[in-house]
Amino acid sequence: MGMMYFEDLSVGSSWVSSECTVDHDEMLAYGRTNDPWPFHADPEAAARSPFGGLIASGGYTITLMYRLGHEIYNQPDRVWAFLGGFDWHVKFVEPVRSGDRLHERITITEKRLSSKPGRGVVKQLIEVINDRKHVVLSIESTAMMATIPD
């Protein structure tokens, strides 16, 4: 299996995942277990909310972002040399609803070598996009990646 190191990334490079459909039962179970606001967990109350129906919890939306992202980061023939993330700027741009079809786009926006040997700092824009071509989640993320070993 190949490894994608810090040096293999270029500012402006972008990757897109396949699509996943937001599962109603899974979304509802997540909301009821982890974020039980009525608009995440109670269909009748959600219908009376300003959203007019159930919407996904932000935590569930991030869970889907992780699923889709691993499709990009962890390919059968190569894995990113990811060492960890340490800064996120998150925007929930638009509600996510059951039945939405989502995909993810990751774009490298900045990179620089770390002050610690063997590491690079990568800034990326992570966007989750629905089937209406609207960004529903946007994360400006900063992460560490390994450099090519000497």
- Strand-pairing partners, residue 79, are 3, 74
**CATH fold of the domain at 2-146:** Thiol Ester Dehydrase; Chain A (3.10.129)
pLDDT at 30 over 90: yes
Question: Where do the structural domains in the chain lie, given as residue ranges?
Answer: 2-146
pLDDT band at 119 (very low <50, low <70, confident <90, very high): very high
Of 87, 71, 83, give the one whose Cα is nearest residue 116.
Answer: 83
Residues paired with residue 25 on neighbouring β-strands, in sequence order:
none
Contact 142, 85 (CB under 8 A): yes
pLDDT at 150: 84
Share the mean pLDDT of the chain. 97
